[in-house]
Structure 1
Amino acid sequence: MLPHVTGLRMEGRTTSSSSSSSSPGAMSAGKHAWEFFVDKMKSKDAADIKSKIKSLLTSLYDSSIVDDVAARMIRTFLESRSAIDPDHCLWKGVDDDALRQAREGLEKFIMIKMYPKLFQSTPSARKRDAALFDRMTRLSWVCHTHLDIPEQYAACAGLQAARHELQNMNSFKPPRDKMVCILNCMQIINNAIASCQSRPLGAPPSADDFLPLLILVILQARPWYPFLNMQYISTFSHPDEMVGANGYMFTHFSSALTFIENMTASALHNCNQEEFDRRINGEYEDDDDIQYRFVDAVADDLRLSDIPDLLREYKAMAKVLRGCHRRPGEASPAISRATSNMDTFW
């Protein structure tokens, strides 16, 4: 049974819980931690706090500071009273929930400012991410049957949202927000399985149901820099956010990436080594081998990384049209397949 994911919010995407306090410093309903912190920093009483934050940022930009040291410096600063001191006039009358929100806003501010320095890939990490992306592209023919995923799971419309979560991970800079992209993806998959009508009533999704579908979603999404993102999240997230359900889900995500990285014919259903080698090298015996991903896509869904698949689908269509011209009085096998399912192409 998979645990329920709780404990994280993404600023600007999920509404933070509002404070029930009526004190002057309490947050208004639905106001985000980021907005609350920024509003407070506009006060003239925040001058000394901004000076301390600037001093920290200057220290962090020292080129000799490695990630682990930077993570400790940031965590020490956030957990101290350097910036969020309840006795400071800026925070007078602010309740505990609002102080927690302010710390979240401060953390977001620091990580956004330091992102260009802290989100950097080593040569080995770049090589690993590049190799994984190339492998995911070569494995784009893998479908639900290869992973023994029931048709009703793979056909769930909500999985497009799960793919978008992974594709959007690099749009966010704080590790908390990147982690939420992963957790949101997994929660969508979890909900899709749980809501499937073929499941026994009330039966919770199991890891055996969940992991194959997660692998398929990752293959279809092909996110950029997954290993670098995981390294960044694990290094700069608060330790409390990497335990329990969140840590469990993070481990599942890591396992799915490793599975894809090392995927062989023996890991797939109904796929022998010869067929696996042929397909992973882009050699298709039949147009039916090609998985058409873009039938229902719109322009906003497309990325530069989709170009290889779009080109492959275009070539498949061109092959069909060439067959039509070569045998004007006779429909080729490819044409027969195409006309039996015209929405594949149009």
Structure 2
Amino acid sequence: RSDGQHGSGKHHHHPQHQAEHHARVLQGPSSKAGVPKEEDKKKKRNLMDLLKKSGPTKETVEKHSRSHGSHGHHSRQPMDKLEQEYQEALKALKIEDAAKRELKYFIEMLDQKIRKKHADCSIEEVSDIVQNGYTKFQEYMNVDSSKFANVPQETKEQVLDFFEKCIMTMNHGRLFSPPTTDDEDKDSQVQKRIRQLNWINAKHLVCSIDEVNSEVRDLVYTAITELVSMDSFHSPQEKLECVVRCCRNIFSLLKQSVGGPASADEFLPAFIFVVLKANPVRLHSNINFITRFSNARRLMSGEGGYYF
């Protein structure tokens, strides 16, 4: 778990590898040369059978844990790459240079405070510091004397998102599943429990999934991929966006299956199905990271807050 500046230097077991496993499962047995398509189709199992034993194996989980060490970190991103991304995102903001200088000042102040306090404070206290930092910056932008006074509200929201992303990307390695919490132990417990439920298939959950529809199969795979990829992002908002995209795909596959809009009663078992088959790494830690450090307003409203 790294903020891109303080990584362990070990290779990260990228979620794409895990997703590729699900892709192979979802695609079913490959056709052999010379075998007629009709015969090949007969050999294909339906989606329920294909997925009932999918998900990471014990060996996959153990390999992932070893690759991270006792307190695993994301692979380190080059400093110049992070700086380049920062500069490009800052340049894209439609605000005056004076406002950008004020933005940089608030980023530096909150970053310094986190670096100074995180070792001696509980994670709950650090969460309060971060949330207060978000609130103070938002309030400052609405002060008449600030360089943001005449900036449109939509742009202010973009600036707030940039502020949050910068702060959390820089401090991801300090604040994601810190050793002072039991997050890592809970991650192992959750993943072990999901692995024990690996035998459950869509039929057991009474999911409205059309297992023979190729478009539905693709959407199931995409939903799994989105959920697995959540762990590869450093900021809470990016992780939350993965959850949103996953849920959108679930609603889409249900719409394809039932021939119309799906209800919440139909969504929940399908979502449980996707979680069981994805068995995403560090699920507990990712949920806590979003809860602790995503702008509280985001979790109390909007599509992201609803799905989360």
Q: TM-score, normalised by structure 1?
A: 0.53
Q: Which amino acid aligns with 2:203?
A: T
Determine which of 174, 185, 207 is the counterpart of 1:117: 174
* 1:216-246 per-position Cα deviation (integer Å, ceiling 9, x unaligned): 2112111011111111111222232223554
- Tell me if 1:60 matches 2:121: no
Q: Is 229-238 or 61-70 further displaced after alignment?
A: 61-70
What is the rounded CA distance, in whole Å, between the counterparts of 2:132 and 2:277 in structure 1?
A: 40
**Contact between 1:84 and 1:102, CA under 8 Å: does it hold in 2?**
no
Taking structure 1 as reference, are residues 154 and 86 closer, same or farther at Cα in structure 2, changes over 3 Å only?
Answer: farther
Instruction: State the Cα distance separating 1:79 from its structure 2 match.
Output: 2.9
* 1:310-338 per-position Cα deviation (integer Å, ceiling 9, x unaligned): xxxxxxxxxxxxxxxxxxxxxxxxxxxxx
Taking structure 1 as reference, are residues 138 and 53 closer, same or farther at Cα in structure 2, changes over 3 Å only?
Answer: same
- Tell me if 1:236 matches 2:236: no
Partner residue, 1:70: 126
* 1:248-299 per-position Cα deviation (integer Å, ceiling 9, x unaligned): 422xxxxxxxxxxxxxxxxxxxxxxxxxxxxxxxxxxxxxxxxxxxxxxxxx
Instruction: State the Cα distance separating 1:177 from its structure 2 match.
Output: 1.3
Partner residue, 1:129: 187
Partner residue, 1:188: 249
**Contact between 1:183 and 1:246, CA under 8 Å: does it hold in 2?**
yes
Partner residue, 1:106: 163
Instruction: State the Cα distance separating 1:48 from its structure 2 match.
Output: 5.8
Q: Which amino acid aligns with 2:287?
A: M
The structure 1 segments of at least 4 consecutive aligned residues displaced by more than 6 Å after TM superposition are none
- Tell me if 1:146 matches 2:200: no
Q: TM-score, normalised by structure 2?
A: 0.59
Instruction: State the Cα distance separating 1:119 from its structure 2 match.
Output: 0.8
Over the matched positions of the two proteins, sequence identity in percent amounts to 24
Partner residue, 2:34: none
SS of structure 2 residue aligned to 1:146: coil
* 1:156-200 per-position Cα deviation (integer Å, ceiling 9, x unaligned): 12111100111110111211111111121111101211232x44x
**Contact between 2:220 and 2:274, CA under 8 Å: does it hold in 1?**
yes
For structure 1, the 5+ residue unaligned runs are: 1-31, 251-346
- The number of aligned residues is 215
Larger Rg: 1
Partner residue, 1:16: none
Partner residue, 2:152: 95
| Counterpart mapping for 1:217-296 below 5 A | 217-244=274-301, 246-250=304-308
What is the rounded CA distance, in whole Å, between the counterparts of 1:241 and 1:54 in structure 2?
A: 23
**Contact between 1:176 and 1:237, CA under 8 Å: does it hold in 2?**
yes
Over aligned residues, Cα RMSD in angstroms? 3.3
Instruction: State the Cα distance separating 1:125 from its structure 2 match.
Output: 2.4
Q: Is 186-195 or 239-248 further displaced after alignment?
A: 239-248
Taking structure 1 as reference, are residues 222 and 37 closer, same or farther at Cα in structure 2, changes over 3 Å only?
Answer: same
SS of structure 2 residue aligned to 1:114: helix
**Contact between 1:36 and 1:102, CA under 8 Å: does it hold in 2?**
no
Instruction: State the Cα distance separating 1:34 from its structure 2 match.
Output: 8.6
Q: Which amino acid aligns with 2:125?
A: V
What is the rounded CA distance, in whole Å, between the counterparts of 1:36 and 1:101 in structure 2?
A: 10
SS of structure 1 residue aligned to 2:182: helix
Q: Of the two structures, which has the highest relative contact order with CA contacts closer than 8 Å and spacing of 6 or more?
A: 2
Q: Is 46-55 or 127-136 further displaced after alignment?
A: 46-55
